[in-house]
Amino acid sequence: MRKYNYLIVGAGLYGATFAQQAREAGKTVLVIDKRDHIAGNVYTKTVEGIHVHQYGAHIFHTNNREVWDYVNRFAVFNRFTNSPVANYRGELYSLPFNMYTFNKMWGVVTPEEAAAKIEEQKQAAGITNPQNLEEQAISLVGTDIYEKLIKGYTEKQWGRPCTELPAFIIKRLPVRLTFDNNYFNALYQGIPVGGYTKLVANMLEGIEVRLNTDYLANKEALDALADKVIYTGPIDAYFGYKLGPLEYRSVRFETELLDKPNFQGVAAMNYTDRETPWTRIIEHKWFQFGRDDQGNDLPKTVISREYSSEWKPGEEPYYPVNDQKNSTRCQQYKALAAQESKVVFGGRLGEYRYYDMDAVIGEALEKVKREE
């Protein structure tokens, strides 16, 4: 008899959801994480009453009622609505692309005028069947918006020309002929009151968690503890990179505590020109309050500049690079993973997928159901 039914490697959202559900179903679980904290990349650290998103901003949004009900068991969600601002050399534009954006860009007033302008630019570019991100972007919003609001930002974020990036990345962004600057097309949206770390801590309540525990460095001994392993680390690392490493984009954050109540008046400002070295600046307090009068009650503010970089071993991997080469290599790793009958690979790193939080939780909920 092994000591636990499940050893869960990684205390992020996939691991925490799986652990919580398995325990609720009467299983014994041990969660380990190599970091010194739980919550993976949704970890928030409290500074001067502000929950700082240490590994990048996370805004919970979903259309999945089951997932929404599930997370609401562990936290109250506030009414934050993501409406980032694009800053192109000091010109400010509303995001996602909506009537405010089109009006500022072209002076158009009606949806018909905006649609006509986009169509005209798409025709001029001669795109009929978009094959890459550049072509997809131009066919969605025209050349002007592509040049000012997409090209520089995307090339900074991904470190590759837009012509070499897959079209689907840009399809994450809505395009609307309405005056609606809610970034997400989601029925439910918000930030957990108390921060994400507290949300995950509530999920893991009553579950044994060992931090500072590196699974791959102690694999044999740790494997011996449980019947099955739920692995949420990088899939290529699990196999010792034997088919070659998968590529990721990494992000470096420069976080500052400022002695002023309001730095930029919005949670996220994207710098969409090519020259500014950071991709965006996050002002964390606006996630929590979302209302100017409340947020301004705090005399200080915390901001993070985000710099995107190519991932190198030893750094934190963030975004899988879903180009052809990496997708092919990933399929080969997945074939190896399928042979590991006692291991489930899950989450953004375990599956090498550009997952949103709700999708990660949804996958974990489904997986645990199939386990029972």
Sites of contact with ligand UDP (CB under 6 A) = 86, 95, 149-150, 153-154, 157, 169-170, 172-173, 270, 272
Task: Assess whether 35 carries a catalytic annotation.
Answer: no
Report, in Å, the least distance between residue 33 CB and ligand UDP.
22
* Active-site residue (options: 147, 223, 227, 249): 249
Q: Which is nearer to ligand UDP, 29 or 145 (CB)?
A: 145
Tokens of 147: 């040049």
Query: How many angstroms separate the CA atoms of 353 and 290, rounded?
Result: 30
Q: Which is nearer to ligand UDP, 21 or 154 (CB)?
A: 154
Report, in Å, the least distance between residue 173 CB and ligand UDP.
5
> Which residues sit opposite 44 in a β-bridge?
53
Nearest CA among 323, 331, 326, 322 for reference residue 353? 322
Quote the distance between the C-alpha of residue 347 and its chain's center: 11
* Active-site residue (options: 247, 306, 351, 363): 306
Task: Assess whether 65 carries a catalytic annotation.
Answer: no
Query: How many angstroms separate the CA atoms of 266 and 281, rounded?
Result: 10
* Active-site residue (options: 43, 70, 248, 280): 280
Task: Assess whether 354 carries a catalytic annotation.
Answer: yes
Torsion of CA 53, 57, 63, 68, to 10 degrees: 0
Contact (Cβ atoms closer than 8 angstroms) between residue 203 and residue 74: yes
Q: Which is nearer to ligand UDP, 44 or 154 (CB)?
A: 154
Query: How many angstroms separate the CA atoms of 229 and 8, rounded?
Result: 6
Query: How many angstroms separate the CA atoms of 228 and 223, rounded?
Result: 8
Report, in Å, the least distance between residue 49 CB and ligand UDP.
25
Question: Distance from first CA to last CA of the chain, Å, rounded?
Answer: 19
Report, in Å, the least distance between residue 246 CB and ligand UDP.
18
Q: Which is nearer to ligand UDP, 344 or 361 (CB)?
A: 361
Q: Which is nearer to ligand UDP, 90 or 206 (CB)?
A: 90
Task: Assess whether 353 carries a catalytic annotation.
Answer: no
Task: Assess whether 310 carries a catalytic annotation.
Answer: no
Return left, alpha or beta for 314; rule: phi > 0 is left, psi -120 to 50 is alpha, else beta: left
* Active-site residue (options: 236, 351, 356, 363): 356
φ/ψ (deg, to 5) at 183: -60, -35
Report, in Å, the least distance between residue 157 CB and ligand UDP.
5
Q: Which is nearer to ligand UDP, 32 or 267 (CB)?
A: 267
Query: How many angstroms separate the CA atoms of 48 and 256, rounded?
Result: 12
Report, in Å, the least distance between residue 170 CB and ligand UDP.
5
Contact (Cβ atoms closer than 8 angstroms) between residue 229 and residue 344: yes
Beta-carbon contacts of 25 under 8 Å, excluding residues fewer than 6 positions away, are: 368, 372
Task: Assess whether 172 carries a catalytic annotation.
Answer: yes
Residues designated as active site: 172, 176, 249, 280, 306, 354, 356
